[in-house]
Amino acid sequence: MNRHLISAADVSRSDALLILDTAEELASVADRSIKKLPTLRGRTVVNLFYEDSTRTRISFEAAAKRLSADVINFSAKGSSVAKGESLKDTALTLEAMGADAVVIRHGASGAPHRLAGWVRGSVVNAGDGTHEHPTQALLDAFTIRRRLRGPVTGDVRGRDLDGIRVTIVGDVLHSRVARSNVLLLSTLGAQVTLAAPPTLVPLGVGTWPCGISYDLDAELPKSDVVMMLRVQRERMNAAYFPSVREYSRRYGLDGERMARLPEHAIVMHPGPMNRGVEIAADVADSPRSTIVEQVANGVTVRMAVLYLLLGGAELPAISTTGVER
Amino acid sequence: MCAATARVGVEVLDAEEIRRALTRIAHEILERTHGGDEAVLLGIQTRGVPLARRLAGRILEFEGLDVPCGALDVTLHRDDLRLRPARALGHTDLPAGGIDGKTVVLVDDVLYSGRTIRAALDALNDLGRPHAVQLAVLVDRGHRELPIRADYVGKNLPTSQREMVRVLLAEVDGADAVLISEVARA
């Protein structure tokens, strides 16, 4: 039994569809005058953020509040962590306060996994180091399904992403979003290709269920989705490319490159953007960009995750063991 | 829900009797809503939804009046969520005109403890402010745990709490029937 959401690798195809379909139903809540459901009344969700974040923390907070859960925000700055408290001791404190779920963002890959062994509640990974960010992958899958399946079939519930070609571009090496997306999107049937400079492709990428290309221009005409990654300068401890301008020229998405995409293709970015580096401003603001939509969908998808992990009895509805591929 | 549900138990209403009960309820709804102009039929997931559609069909047939018809999923408002693992959500689909100021007729298959209807009333509260809410059920089997009653009843069915009442509908189960059986499920 697994009651946590730590890695997109643990999410089976049926669980992923359950989450996306649940989110599809919950999406209507955002359009109502009363954006609130009583479902998680009396449950406590702790946002444990060791790294800076705006959208993810606010998104989880909004999701929990729309389901009537109590939310405790904890950021490492200005807390006992600054005095040297360990993750385990912080976890035990939260445990004693009766947290039903801990949403954790941490700079160290694997921190949520460790935390899951210490607390009784559910642990949701909101980004750990360069490892994973599973709810981002879920909201991206949700956005892709709505944008590309919606106009064709109307009702997208129960549909997977079979045959959709996704190109993930840029700093894959430092990206937890890329890894989670490769795992989840391929579980849902999409064909994922990474397009990145050789220096920004992680070791061991050969075992990932995706293709690799060093030439973005060759991939564009055969992409239904282009997902631009942020160049994570704060994690770069060496010179991975000669200059920002050169990176931008070879791997940045500008208007000219966007014109080479198929008619229906969409442009995604997990945010925050470096306008003018990996994505040009006019591309980010174009109608083909889903960047703002992704933020709105993030709340909906996180509501679905919290509902499925906390809404029922002890045993959650999404069994994250026994992964089927 | 699987297509052809096993027919276990004694049949207490057959397809013809269900048809007649719905015809009567449709007439009663027209009477009690003064012609049905401001009425909205809302079926409660799962089997209330086809029942609501059938009632809307009858009303269209009798009076040529197209009563707005929708679906309501009450899962997120239930009081027994923590007794079972989290459930998949059904689809909530409100008619285009909404429910504000309307007479909402909730439609469900079986009225038992009344807890589903309480959840539905809570859900309605978040969706708008109807002028009035009424309840139509195909079967009222008694054993209420809340002060809730139905305005339109297809059949009052005295039961013991150890018995199970199942409504089968062609749209979901392949055929129409109401069955009663001794506790067949744990």
To the question of domain A8-133+294-310 being in CATH 3.40.50.1370, the answer is: yes
Q: Which residues of A touch B (CB under 8 A)?
A: 18, 21-22, 25-26, 28, 32, 34, 36-39, 157, 307-313, 315-317
The reply to whether residue A39 touches residue B77, judged by beta carbons under 8 angstroms, is: yes
Q: Percent of chain B having pLDDT more than 70?
A: 95
Radius of gyration of chain A (CA): 19
Give the pLDDT of residue B7. Answer: 65
Using CA atoms, how far apart are residues A283 and A266, in angstroms rounded to an integer? 10
Residues of A within 8 A of B89 (CB-CB) are 21-22, 25-26
Torsion-angle region of B102 (φ positive above 0: left; ψ -120 to 50: alpha; else: beta): beta
Write down how long chain B is: 186
Give the pLDDT of residue A315. Answer: 56
**Domains A8-133+294-310 and A134-291 fall in the same CATH topology:** yes
Please state the three-class secondary structure of B97-151 as a single string.
CCCCCCEEEEEEEEECCCHHHHHHHHHHHHHCCCCEEEEEEEEECCCCCCCCCCC
For residue A17, the chain B residue with the least C-alpha distance is: B88
Mean pLDDT by 10 residues, chain A (325 residues): 84 96 92 89 94 92 96 84 85 89 95 94 95 97 95 87 97 96 97 96 94 96 97 83 92 95 96 93 96 96 96 66 37
What is the 8-class DSSP label of residue B176? -
Domain boundaries, chain A: 8-133+294-310, 134-291
Helix axes A134-144, A176-187, angle to 10 degrees: 50
Confidence of residue B8 (pLDDT cuts 50, 70, 90): confident
Q: What is the pLDDT of residues B147-169, one digit of tens each?
A: 999 999 999 999 999 999 999 99
Q: What is the pLDDT of residues B17-44, one digit of tens each?
A: 999 999 999 999 999 999 999 999 999 9
Q: Could you give the domains of chain B? A: 18-80+90-180 (3.40.50.2020)
Q: ipTM value, please give it.
A: 0.86
Checking DSSP bridges between strand B163-168 and strand B177-182, what pairing results, if any? antiparallel
Give the pLDDT of residue A219. Answer: 96
The reply to whether residue A21 touches residue B73, judged by beta carbons under 8 angstroms, is: no
To the question of domain A134-291 being in CATH 3.40.50.1370, the answer is: yes
Using CA atoms, how far apart are residues A176 and A168, in angstroms rounded to an integer? 12
The dihedral through the CA atoms of A285, A288, A293, A298 has a sign that is: negative
β-sheet bridge partners, residue B132: B103
Q: Which of A31, A308, A309 to mutate to test the interface with B (most CBs of B within 10 A)?
A: A308
CB A188 within 8 A of CB A164: no
Tokens of B127: 């969706």
pTM of the model: 0.91
Give the pLDDT of residue A316. Answer: 54
**In the predicted structure, residue B146 carries a pLDDT above the cut 80:** yes
Q: What is the pLDDT of residues B110-122, one digit of tens each?
A: 999 999 999 999 9
